[in-house]
A and B are shown apart, each in its own frame.
Chain A
């Protein structure tokens, strides 16, 4: 049996994603302002989807309250910027602070299971919203804006936000990739597949879940801060809205829950759907909800799961791949093709 971590596809992915990254870095030189703004939004969606997927897809934790971290990320950015810290430094510091705050929260919330965890997080998001409203700087639901960004002129600002968004997204995805391939990540995927079995082979589910929870909180806070930079105004109601979590759920469910590629695919689809249908207002939201219900019932692995099973493609190797397949009667058959080729090759060269 041959076990490997990567294949031809994944090498191709590595090269093409590097190329894509370089190309995206070049975009500000020729793209129009509208394109830049829309792409920034896309980056934020990808971050949100990937972070929710980390929690739900790999951690088995369905949170309905990720808007807590989204809102807190934006709020902390405003608070720090108000204290005189440059906006983009404030953004990073705010996300780190929210990540730090999520540690005690995780200690508490990770004792809950399934729906209790989900709604419990929702209650926490509501608490966060109400507490932020009490801050005089925010002026209740009226909100405030990130004034310190005005030191840059509008064109420079747009390009800066775009580049910061791109780097944050790439950084978080690479971070997630290595997190998933680490020992903790493999443990997490084992927990996702069967918590009791994982427990019985000595995996400490709580510690691993804590790390994923903190990582997701940090990434979501970063997305919140980026959204603030992009939209520049902060109204608690908008940022702490459960709609954000609804979007994350839609993206991940449609793309493929528990699949690294799935979250990205889902974010892309959501972005396209939003561009076309957001104008239809309420029907658009009805459609999102209905598609989410449909996917969770009839397409549990999402579109990427479908592609993966049909075509056997694995672009981003976060697990181990066994070369071979299970026959209809349940026995395992190795893919002898590679082995034979290898042997013939070896014979030709005159080695045993």
Chain B
């Protein structure tokens, strides 16, 4: 039981990693990017290709694709999202969904139906474990959880203390007024998308290291990321970390109850949180309602 819990918390680290980019874009640009999962798979393939071609460690390859994904994020914002957001809140949903179909099928066209994994490229790391109080804890999941904490912490610190972070917060709160005080909202939005895509690159790599992926694996990743974000309260990045862990714990409990209950457990906890959010108060479940004054800013959305 304790073992299940520990493994679930580690898995939650991966969910937090994939969700933080989605939550970040949602907070800054009010967009839920439906191509998020597909872009994660795209970066997993890119890492796989570079690792394979140059016989590098995936941990090095991911450094190479960070700027590539940042560029993709920049282009995504400039070419598609900027135009879509002008047409109301529904168009971004349609365009990013269309984009995810394009990406998924292009990946399938390029790489075929075989599943791929990065695990073989890191050798022993994929199965090495620490023994702590009689529990076996995999090194890789610990690294992924650590990365999630570093990425979320980094984003949080960046938003709080840097000039760029202040500009992003200002743009998120009110783009027009931000423009009045000399902030180039277009540039900030494109930069934010680039930053979000860099987290996507890291999460795609984590996905490839943890197990296998194929061209159509993007949709479930999007659902996990979305569920972790909503469970975490959509209000803060640290909430996403808690949300990811709750999601993973619910999935593990589901799997204990019924062999096919893994996904159902996650979906049910998500629906329960959604239900609670709708029928209890909205603020009740966001983390900064309980602790902290930190990077609060998304109180404005909805209504």
Taking CB atoms and an 8 Å cut-off, the chain A residues in 98-127 that contact chain B are: 108, 111-116, 118-120, 122-124, 126-127
| A60 lies within 8 A of B227 (CB) | no
Taking CB atoms and an 8 Å cut-off, the chain B residues in 95-118 that contact chain A are: 95, 97-102, 105-106, 108-109
A180 within 8 A of B: no
Contact of A285 among B87, B101, B227 (CB under 8 A): B101
B264 within 8 A of A: yes
* Cβ contacts under 8 Å, A134 to chain B: 258, 260
A233 within 8 A of B: no
A286 to B109 Cα, complex, angstroms: 9
A296 to B230 Cα, complex, angstroms: 27
Taking CB atoms and an 8 Å cut-off, the chain B residues in 221-252 that contact chain A are: 222-223, 226-227, 230
* Cβ contacts under 8 Å, A242 to chain B: 219
* Cβ contacts under 8 Å, B87 to chain A: 296-297, 300
| B93 lies within 8 A of A289 (CB) | no
B256 within 8 A of A: no
| B223 lies within 8 A of A249 (CB) | no
A292 within 8 A of B: yes
SS class of chain B's interface: helix, strand, loop or mixed? Answer: helix
A124 to B270 Cα, complex, angstroms: 10
| A296 lies within 8 A of B84 (CB) | yes
With A111-B278, A123-B267, A130-B267 as known contacts, state yes or no: A246 contacts B32, CB within 8 Å: no
B83 within 8 A of A: yes
User: What interface size band does chain B fall in?
Assistant: 35 or more
Return B235 CB to nearest CB of chain A, in Å. Answer: 14
User: What interface size band does chain A fall in?
Assistant: 35 or more
> Using a Cβ cutoff of 8 Å, how many contacts connect chains A and B?
116
A133 within 8 A of B: yes
Contact of B223 among A108, A122, A289 (CB under 8 A): A122
* Cβ contacts under 8 Å, A112 to chain B: 274, 278
The chain B residue with its CB closest to the CB of A288 is B101
A146 to B16 Cα, complex, angstroms: 43
| B84 lies within 8 A of A115 (CB) | no
Contact of B32 among A108, A119, A282 (CB under 8 A): A119
A48 within 8 A of B: no
A154 within 8 A of B: no
A290 within 8 A of B: yes
A83 to B264 Cα, complex, angstroms: 27
Contact of A249 among B83, B97, B274 (CB under 8 A): B97
A134 to B254 Cα, complex, angstroms: 14
Taking CB atoms and an 8 Å cut-off, the chain B residues in 52-105 that contact chain A are: 80, 83-84, 87, 89-95, 97-102, 105
A283 within 8 A of B: yes
* Cβ contacts under 8 Å, B223 to chain A: 119, 122-123, 126
Q: A115-B92, A123-B271 are in contact. List 17 more A-B contacts (CB 8 A).
A: A108-B274, A114-B32, A114-B90, A115-B93, A116-B230, A123-B226, A130-B260, A242-B219, A249-B97, A289-B100, A290-B102, A292-B101, A293-B80, A293-B94, A293-B102, A296-B84, A296-B98
What 7 A-B pairs are tightest by C-beta distance, nearest first? A289-B101, A115-B32, A292-B98, A289-B102, A293-B98, A114-B89, A285-B105
- Interface residues of chain B, those whose CB is within 8 Å of chain A, are 31-32, 34, 80, 83-84, 87, 89-95, 97-102, 105-106, 108-109, 219, 222-223, 226-227, 230, 258, 260, 263-264, 267-268, 270-271, 274-275, 278, 302
